Structure 1
Amino acid sequence: MTMQEAYQLGEERLIHAGIEEARLDAWYLLEHVTGVGRAMYYAMPDRVLSEDQEQKYLYYIEERAGRVPLQHLTGVQEFMGLPFQVNEHVLIPRQDTETVVEEAVKVIRREGMTVPCFRILDMCTGSGCILLSVLHYGRQEAVSLEGIGADISKEALKVARANAEALHIDAEFKHSDLFGQIEGTYEMIISNPPYIRTDVIETLQEEVKAHDPWIALDGKEDGLYFYRQIVQEAGRYLVNGGTLIFEIGCDQGEAVFGLMQEAGYRNIMVKKDLAGLDRVVIGVYDR
């Protein structure tokens, strides 16, 4: 089977399966299996796949047709221009979440040179994509920058540590149920906690509800459970004037704003993502 034949077959199979980005996914899987980029493909569309490549490609196409996420098949997702390893134990990084990183780096740019060491805690770190991206882009803005990622999932922490090693970014990761094993104080706490209402999870795309870890999705009855817990406890771990940054669901801005306001945070702002949807709530802790 030539590359062109494989690509056409893969595209047709994914279209038939109702995959929204069928053409793109068929290409990414072919590129993943063969290591051949687009320029080389167009120069040599009649290049014949090896038997092993053909079998792998057809297997991946069937898996994708069965709604296994593309990133679980390729094992990687780009986020903030960096390649992150992903699997079934972590959420796949989304472009929406880049807004969280951008806001965090703005704070570091503003305050990072004013303290001997700017310490960051990333609660519910998952793949580590937020923390590692903030460290990567923020280190030029601070005298010294340290980061700790915490998660209840030991399997997620394995992924986060692997990403830190692959990206050559120094970070510490702790197994902790929220703040249970956390010590010390931090200039910034960031969190993208589980925030989907339990009764909504079954309505999500098959790729999400069947393949993303439930523990990373389920925000309990109203989706706000972890925001309440983190807001209540974060003050014990933030320095005075420290910053708390949340990713939120697009309909949760007002509620999370209220939780932070009640807890005594000031300068609270709700920030929108590139789609114009509420995505980040940020506030300053005032003892």
Structure 2
Amino acid sequence: MMQWSYDTLLKWGTNELTAHDVENAALDAWYLLEHIYGISRVDFLMRRSDSFDAAQMEKSTAYQALIRQRSEGFPVQYLTGSTEFMGLPFLVNEHVLIPRQDTEVLVETALSMMKPGCRLLDMCTGSGCIVLSLAKLGTVTWGIGADISEEALKVAERNRENLGLSQVKLVHSDLFGSVEGVFDMIVSNPPYIPTDDIEDLMREVKDHEPHLALDGSRDGLLFYRKLAEESGRYLVPGGSLLFEIGYDQGKAVSQLLDQAGFKDIHVKKDLAGLDRVVYAVKAAEDGGK
């Protein structure tokens, strides 16, 4: 059996991932080392060349197993079981999409529009990262995260408990089917990838993330149509509706909202300069549900 140290094990992991064309190989190798050994960067630098004892050697086997899974395309976040979003920790597994920085644009936009005492609905909540981040960082009196996937809601519930957000309720619902009440704000990151485009996604996404949370039908707009048509009945007059969108969907989604009677429709770009969020306001004269 080879005698490892932190340094040699990390180099092995990096080389293994690089050989399998894993993007950010060095960073992923580090994240997995940190996950298995619970080691900080400072501890690593102080002890990097020390030969492993028996307990550390045993853990090296687990590390090698995770590296091999990562080399086969398993997302590092699923291997560690967690990720960070809006500076908050979230548990993730194969039943939920991995929260991404792009979605932070949606949350930041919602925070900028949120008023005190907000009643919030997050449709297609997945891991709960949107509704829970808004409840933690904003002024949410009560909120609902709705999803059709019971397995996703189990993940969201654990995240809700970990963040101590009793004002958030999680609801098993096919869109608005089991949702009750009216809201000051509705947010959603619905499935929006056109069906035929899924096969062109990165292998980490197409092979491991849930297609239920990706597939937006033939043109990617199925859920936007339904949400645009139905959201007005669940929003107070003057309430806000915000969507995350694909980079080329800004015009189409804006038109859907216009046809549904929303006003003050805007498209916001992400840090890469691509359309990322569409938001609008329910016209006051439409009345409530």
TM value normalised by structure 1: 0.95
Q: Distance in 1 between matches of 2:10 and 2:197?
A: 36
Cα offset for 1:275?
1.3
Cα offset for 1:146?
1.0
Q: Distance in 2 between matches of 1:18 and 1:275?
A: 24
Q: Which residue of 2 aligns with 1:278?
A: 275
| Matches for 1:197-212 after TM superposition, within 5 Å | 197-212=194-209
Identity, % of aligned positions: 53
| Matches for 1:1-287 after TM superposition, within 5 Å | 1-47=4-50, 48=52, 50-108=56-114, 111-112=115-116, 117-139=117-139, 145-170=141-166, 171-286=168-283, 287=286
Q: Distance in 2 between matches of 1:214 and 1:196?
A: 9
Q: Distance in 2 between matches of 1:241 and 1:212?
A: 36
Cα offset for 1:46?
2.2
Q: Distance in 1 between matches of 2:118 and 2:21?
A: 47
Cα offset for 1:276?
1.1
Runs of 4+ in structure 1 deviating by more than 6 angstroms, as ranges, are none
Cα offset for 1:130?
0.5
Cα offset for 1:168?
1.2
Q: Which amino acid aligns with 1:89?
A: H
Q: Distance in 1 between matches of 2:219 and 2:171?
A: 28
- Count of matched residue pairs: 277
Cα offset for 1:118?
1.9
SS of the aligned residue for 1:184 comes to coil
Q: Distance in 2 between matches of 1:137 and 1:104?
A: 11
Cα offset for 1:51?
3.1
Cα offset for 1:52?
2.6
Cα offset for 1:182?
0.7
Any idea what the Cα deviations from partners look like across 1:108-147, whole Å, max 9, x if unmatched? 1xx32xxxx42100000000001011111113xxxx6211
Any idea what the Cα deviations from partners look like across 1:25-70, whole Å, max 9, x if unmatched? 1111001100111111011112316233111100000000000000
Q: Distance in 2 between matches of 1:272 and 1:206?
A: 26
SS of the aligned residue for 1:146 comes to strand
Q: Can you give the 5+ residue segments of structure 2 that lack an aligned partner in the other structure?
A: none
Q: Which amino acid aligns with 2:102?
A: D
Q: Can you give the 5+ residue segments of structure 1 that lack an aligned partner in the other structure?
A: none
SS of the aligned residue for 1:235 comes to helix
CA RMSD of aligned residues (A): 0.9
Any idea what the Cα deviations from partners look like across 1:146-203, whole Å, max 9, x if unmatched? 1100000000000001001111122100000000001110000000000000000011
SS of the aligned residue for 2:138 comes to helix
Q: Which amino acid aligns with 1:18?
A: D
SS of the aligned residue for 1:212 comes to coil
Q: Which amino acid aligns with 2:153?
A: L
